[in-house]
Structure 1
Amino acid sequence: MKSPGMIKEIFILRSIGCLSIVLLHSIHIALTTVPIREMGELAAIFFDSIQMILYYGTPMFIFISEFLISYSYRNREIPGHFLKKRVRFILVPYFVMAIFYSLPFLTNGLEAWSIKLAINILIGDYHGYFILIIFQFYLFHYFFHRYLKNLKPILVLSAALVINASYLMIFNFTPPPETIPFSTYIWERFYWVPLFGWIFYFALGYYSGLYYEAFIRSLVKFRYLIIIGPLLTSILLLYLYHSGLVSVHSSKRTDILLHTTMFSLFLFYVTSKIKTPPKVLVFISQYSFGIYLLHYFYIFLADYVFRLYPIDIGVTYILLLFTFSIFSSIITIFFMNKWKYGYLIIGKVGAPYVTPDK
């Protein structure tokens, strides 16, 4: 069996997912900062569409995370330090970043900052909410993997798809009820956090890792559908969005379920044909967790400076935000990890890829 950390496809999927998230956030901020007259209306529509397509990034990380855990422990017991290790390396940086991203609210007074800090930590009211989702699935896997292992994959996947799609449809297609306290906030943001909105990606990752060899054979068997799949789901996604049938602008759209699945399978199939993953993608993969935590800070920093000293650069601003946030995050992660406890702040640098024959 391959070492779980050395599955080359995962290095590539993780790096592409990371870059996709940074790019879609760069596009989002650029579209809110640069006037359409400077960017051009067609260019704005184009990049808005690209942003929609890139929403596969966040849910794909759930597939990747569960795939690795399922593959790693499919023939052995989960160790006692399973949760402790993940609290140390993942949850602690989440808490630190929750504090960090709450600091700007100090300008609104101590009470406003305290509220923001509390909701950042407890319900993920910043882009780190994804870590709360991942941790729910760590717990779910830890307590229920023995039961899932004995069930038929098709039954679990079908049930997970129905639950996931039904849950998202409630928030995509119904207005917040006035009788529920904080319903607007729940409908606009909090519904992102419970695992029901992501459980299909977990199930797909679980059984793909558990039955890895059969999973690879299925990718080859259905390769033509998998190759054309992302194109078809992108067309469907953009049609539903631009027609106004599904106006939600996030990775929590119902149609993103199919879109992310096809992109994940496509990337897995294509990268399985590559003998060795590109070094640049391995490098990005190693720094992906820290980039995820830090990139928004550097995007906001660059955008703040740009608003103070605006220049007409149009769509080039997207590239500026993207490159600045990536390189700045990597530099910060590199030097922070030189400190003994730096990983507690922004996560540790991942292990490098080593070819199986070495």
Structure 2
Amino acid sequence: MIKEIFILRSIGCLGIVLLHSIHIALTTVPIREMGELAAITFDSVQMILYYGTPMFIFISEFLISYSYRNRELPDNFLRKRFKFIMIPFIIMAVFYSLPYILEGPNSWFIKVSMNLLIGDYHGYFILIIFQFYIFHLLFHSYLKKASPKILLPAAFLINMAYLTTFNFTEPPAALPYSTYIWERFYWVPLFGWIFYFMLGYYSGLYYESFMRALKKYRYMIVAGPLLTSILLLYFYHSGFLTVHSSKRTDIIIHTAVFSLFLFYVTSHLKYPPKVLEFISRYSFGIYLLHYFYIFLADFIFRQYPLDIGVTYILLLFIFSLLSSIGTVFLLNKWKHGYLLIGKIGAPYVPPASAGNDHKSTSL
């Protein structure tokens, strides 16, 4: 098992929970209570944390590419992932649509259909991942023979062009549902994430070369996250690019640099820290459930508001994180609980103990 992946997955997961906690807190707590400087600071932190979702694309494909680089994909490759990933996505799509029942059966039917078919809730990420599972299944034999020196730049340009289109143009009036497509649906097609897939694929396929490259360019990699953070904050606060999501054009470079930085730094650790290994094992369930607990805490807070300022961010973060972990733990005590919320991942096993069969816990 690759210890660095445990750390990347946990850092990405914690980043997603924190940025959603910041988003809801900034929506609920007035600036006068939080303080203008604190609000701007946490808004900026939220912007930096948008690496989380695209990093999971990189992680997922890295593990698949690494695990099967010397063997064929099993016949149950898609079936296994449908069972452990797509079924929980379907369950959660229905779950997050339930409040719309209060608006009537038609509203609920529309919402649950949109959740299931086009990922109209934060679980949209799973639809993206499944596109790449199919893409890997269909094209891995070609990708293995192709040159990453050609495909990586090509994927980067496609990804940049795709996001630039939606970041810097207005929805065409003649296109049906163009506003929704420009604001939300463009998140789902794989073109907006193809570079992360290619980076993960070739990093896993050529793992040893990848690690040597990290050491060779270590100074650039260590400085990279600081530089990209400054750049994207400049673009954001200057008004040049005001999109507030992980689908910003500049997030492509930021995520790639941040992923390489974490990989390089954690490669010097003998074992992943226990707390990060633990979070990594629960990350899928945390991802699916944390927003529910953030909404629940925010609903209660709105009924009984307190003047706690930025502390509210910490409250949402801790409550949603611990509640999600507890729910995943309890549901997995039931033999079919994984169908609702996914399985708890396997613990880290040092390479000497893992043998030669590189089995992963990838989604």
TM-score by length of 1: 0.98
Q: Alpha-carbon deviation of 1:154?
A: 1.1
**Equivalent position to 2:185, from 187, 190, 196:** 190
Q: Alpha-carbon deviation of 1:354?
A: 1.6
Equivalent residues in 2 for 1:306-345, closer than 5 Å: 306-345=301-340
**Equivalent position to 1:29, from 24, 34, 52:** 24
Cα distance in 1 for partners of 2:141, 2:349 equals 31
Listed one character per residue, the Cα deviations across residues 333-353 of structure 1 (whole Å, up to 9, x for unaligned) are 000000011000000000001
Backbone CA RMSD of aligned residues? 0.4
Cα distance in 1 for partners of 2:352, 2:57 equals 29
The match for 1:266 is 261
**Equivalent position to 1:117, from 112, 119, 139:** 112
Cα distance in 1 for partners of 2:167, 2:94 equals 30
Secondary structure at 1:357 match in 2: helix
| 1:250 to 2:245 alignment | yes
Secondary structure at 2:209 match in 1: helix
Cα distance in 1 for partners of 2:182, 2:8 equals 30
Q: Alpha-carbon deviation of 1:357?
A: 2.9
Secondary structure at 1:202 match in 2: helix
Cα distance in 1 for partners of 2:192, 2:337 equals 32
**Equivalent position to 2:195, from 182, 192, 200:** 200
Equivalent residues in 2 for 1:130-209, closer than 5 Å: 130-209=125-204
| 1:67 to 2:62 alignment | yes
| 1:278 to 2:273 alignment | yes
Cα distance in 2 for partners of 1:111, 1:17 equals 36
Cα distance in 2 for partners of 1:189, 1:339 equals 36
Cα distance in 1 for partners of 2:37, 2:211 equals 40
Q: Which runs of 5+ in 2 are unaligned?
A: 354-363
| 1:350 to 2:350 alignment | no
Secondary structure at 2:351 match in 1: coil
The match for 2:295 is 300
Which amino acid in the other structure matches residue 195 of structure 1?
L
The match for 1:96 is 91
Q: How many residues end up aligned between the 2 structures? A: 353
Secondary structure at 2:33 match in 1: helix
Listed one character per residue, the Cα deviations across residues 105-130 of structure 1 (whole Å, up to 9, x for unaligned) are 00100000000000000000000000
Listed one character per residue, the Cα deviations across residues 69-105 of structure 1 (whole Å, up to 9, x for unaligned) are 0001101000000000000000000000000000000
The match for 1:51 is 46
Cα distance in 1 for partners of 2:284, 2:190 equals 20
Listed one character per residue, the Cα deviations across residues 120-144 of structure 1 (whole Å, up to 9, x for unaligned) are 0000000000000000000000000
Q: Alpha-carbon deviation of 1:314?
A: 0.2
Listed one character per residue, the Cα deviations across residues 17-37 of structure 1 (whole Å, up to 9, x for unaligned) are 000000000000000000000
Secondary structure at 1:245 match in 2: coil
Cα distance in 2 for partners of 1:274, 1:8 equals 9
Cα distance in 1 for partners of 2:350, 2:145 equals 33
The match for 2:122 is 127
| 1:82 to 2:77 alignment | yes
Q: Alpha-carbon deviation of 1:356?
A: 2.3
Which amino acid in the other structure matches residue 226 of structure 1?
I
TM-score by length of 2: 0.97
**Equivalent position to 1:38, from 30, 33, 36:** 33
Q: Which runs of 5+ in 1 are unaligned?
A: 1-5
Which amino acid in the other structure matches residue 4 of structure 2?
E
Cα distance in 2 for partners of 1:354, 1:90 equals 23
Q: Alpha-carbon deviation of 1:262?
A: 0.4
Listed one character per residue, the Cα deviations across residues 269-299 of structure 1 (whole Å, up to 9, x for unaligned) are 0000011110000000000000000000000
